[in-house]
Amino acid sequence: MKIKAQYILLIVTLIITNLHSQNFWERIESPTEELLRTLHFTDSLRGWVAGDSGLIFYTSDGGASWTQQETNINYKIVKLFFLNGNRGWALAWQEIEAGEFYGTYILKTTDAGLNWTSEQYREEGEFMWALHFLDTLKGFMGGAPNVFVETTDGGLSWEQANIDSGVFANFPVLNFQFYNDLYGYATGGRFDIAGVIWKTVNGGDSWASLDPLYTPADQVWDIHFFDSLHVMGVGGDPDLYGVGIITSTDAGNSWEYFEIGVFGQARTVSFRTENEGWCPVPLSDNLVVTFDYGNSWTNYPAPDSASLYDLVFTDSLTGYAVGEEGIIVKYKYQRPDFVDEELNQIVEDFILYQNFPNPFNPLTTLSYYLGVPGHVKLSVYDLLGNQIAKLVDEFISAGNYNITWTADDHPSGVYLVELKVNGKTSSRKILLLK
């Protein structure tokens, strides 16, 4: 049976709206029973997990098997960061004062973890949470009690970063996220006092802290970029108010903070698609998930009621999370069932998502997913069928893509976005309001 073309867009929309109900997280085999605190994946197959007792494990087959990497330490590892598939760093804590160095060890590898070297950070009693490198030389590190430092020589030396003198500017740093080499945020704060967000627009040469007017009540642990203007942070109070969300729609000039009514504290956020994001909530046996760009959130039970500490999506089909007792869970994508083979192929090969924001003026983001590589044409038409913008016309590999369209020269009205991949077409209506 053939489904008429005019019904395809409606059915695809319904499928996308309900896609999350088809999918779930499942536990996969783990090489350890020690608490795993952090992970980093460079793609859907290659990644590292790490945690207590100095343990780091590597997979090259999407978690089907794991290889332990020798670190020569037995302290808990709290952070993994890889600049590329070979060069990476880790942060480990020696927390027992027993005549040994008391503080942070910095681990480094240049061969994907086949060999790790470690050295003590210069100051005792300082415990690093956050680490990020922009390239092989320039990087940033932060932690407690009040540490915000930078390096320009690949970590051979660290100096105080150039931060402003705001009220909360010297609070602990918990994470770094960059939109590009120039624009990024550091997040942190002090438990039960205030959260802090620092912003840089010059690659970290200087950092400005959040205006106290917008200061959240609790720590901010992570930042997600929807685009250069629309950003969201997660955190909260694990004892009283629960998970908190802070958002900005003007590139961090102003912020809004709200609690979502879920016990716990979100320490990281990762988005599977443009609108669907997940946060593990340690010590609560839950994750929280949003399907509307972080505006509302829902509890989702963790597999085996485990406490999960870190989570990442490498693409819209693949995600991983780690936590207590060595648990590793993987996102299981199930392609929906269809009554029509032709439509089935369309959804499997590519998806054109609804633009965001919509309505818009004059900028909007057009997002699409390619399940297979192919020749892609992305165009905008008016309702008379005239092509007014050709945004993409080239061969592209599989993955998720975002294109910003500016409609400065066009009047208010309804327009049609058309995505054509290998001869098959999908379209969506968008609304420009000036």
List pLDDT tens digits, range 286-315. 899 998 889 889 888 899 999 999 999 999
Where among 286, 310, 332 does a domain terminate?
332
Q: Is the pLDDT confidence value at 345 over 70? A: no
List pLDDT tens digits, range 39-66. 999 999 999 999 999 999 999 999 999 9
| Residue-averaged pLDDT of the chain | 88
Q: Is the pLDDT confidence value at 16 over 90? A: no
Task: Say if residues 240 and 246 touch (Cβ distance below 8 Å).
Answer: no
User: Both 425 and 294 in a single domain?
Assistant: no
Where among 332, 353, 369 does a domain terminate?
332
Quick one: what percent of the chain has pLDDT higher than 70? 91
Reported residue count of the chain is: 434
User: Both 58 and 192 in a single domain?
Assistant: yes
**Looking at 83-87, 99-103, 203-207, 285-289, which range is the least confident one?**
99-103
pLDDT value of position 13: 40
Buried b (16+ CB within 10 A) or exposed e, 345-355: ebbebbbbbbb
Note whether residue 15 is domain-resident.
Answer: no
Average pLDDT over residues 188-195: 90
Task: Say if residues 28 and 332 touch (Cβ distance below 8 Å).
Answer: no
Note whether residue 419 is domain-resident.
Answer: yes
The owner of tokens 């299981």 is: 332
User: Both 311 and 395 in a single domain?
Assistant: no
pLDDT value of position 23: 60
Beta bridge partners of 369: 351, 400
Q: How many domains does the chain have?
A: 2
Note whether residue 339 is domain-resident.
Answer: no
Which is nearest to 329 in space by CA: 351, 304, 354? Answer: 304
Output the domain CATH number for residue 233. Answer: 2.130.10.10
Q: Is the pLDDT confidence value at 377 over 90? A: yes
User: Both 235 and 303 in a single domain?
Assistant: yes
- The whole-angstrom separation of Cα 311 and Cα 292 is 19
pLDDT value of position 334: 64
List pLDDT tens digits, range 97-123. 666 788 999 999 999 999 999 999 988
Confidence of residue 381 (pLDDT cuts 50, 70, 90): very high
Note whether residue 152 is domain-resident.
Answer: yes
The domain of 114 spans: 24-332
Note whether residue 229 is domain-resident.
Answer: yes
User: Both 238 and 373 in a single domain?
Assistant: no
Note whether residue 7 is domain-resident.
Answer: no
Cα distances (Å, whole numbers) of residue 303 to 159, 274, 287, 307, 327:
42, 24, 10, 9, 9
Structure tokens at 259: 């609690």
User: Both 183 and 265 in a single domain?
Assistant: yes
Could you tell me the pTM of the whole model? 0.74
Q: Supply the DSSP symbol for 249.
A: S
Output the domain CATH number for residue 348. Answer: 2.60.40.1930
User: Both 370 and 326 in a single domain?
Assistant: no
